[in-house]
Amino acid sequence: MKGYWKFVTFCIIGGVSALIDLAFFNLAFFIGTGFVLSRIFGVLISMIFNFTMNRNVSFSARGRSVRGQIPKYLIVYLISSTVNVVGGFVAVTLLGSGTIQANIASVIGIAAAIPFSYFGLLLWAFKKN
């Protein structure tokens, strides 16, 4: 049962991270920053939140070296983001274009990436020695 709550906590932190990403993206975009820089800003802020919360709450890895965890976290994040984008692309290709289809495809990409992110962080980036 402990693993179940760890996964639920991980998903809640991911959801909050996504909201933080959107909030900071919209804030930067609203004040006139270009789209790409606004997206980068939102993603970076949410990554810092996500790393900190998963390290300290989801995986209770605060007693271990941050220097060893950050590169592993970034690699896991890169792999899961790639799975997210590729999964979403495949889904939108199959579903067709349109706003509803694009949003469904995005959710499919996110869902496909969750196991890669969760198990990558659990078994590698924040692994207990």
Proportion of the chain above pLDDT 70, given as a percent: 98
The confidence band for 122, taking pLDDT boundaries of 50, 70 and 90, is: very high
pLDDT at 118 over 90: yes
User: Does residue 13 surpass a pLDDT of 70?
Assistant: yes
Q: What tokens were used for 8?
A: 């639920």
11 pLDDT more than 90: yes
- Enclosing H/E stretch for 66: helix 66-95
Query: Rounded CA gap, 88 and 107, in Å?
Result: 8
H/E element, 111: helix 99-120
Cα Rg of the chain, angstroms: 16
Tell me 33's DSSP state. Answer: -
The predicted structure's pLDDT at residue 26: 87
pLDDT of residue 39: 87
Give the pLDDT band (50/70/90) at residue 38: confident
What's the pTM? 0.83
Residue 107 has pLDDT above 90, yes or no: no
Alpha carbon 70 to its chain centroid, in Å, reads 14
Instruction: Give pLDDT tens digits for 40-97.
Output: 888 899 999 999 999 999 998 888 889 999 999 999 999 998 898 888 889 888 998 7
What is the token pair recorded at 23?
């909030």
Identity (one letter) of the amino acid at 31? Answer: I
Amino acid (one-letter) located at 24: F
Does an H or E element contain 11, and which?
helix 2-30
Instruction: Check residue 1 and give its pLDDT.
Output: 59
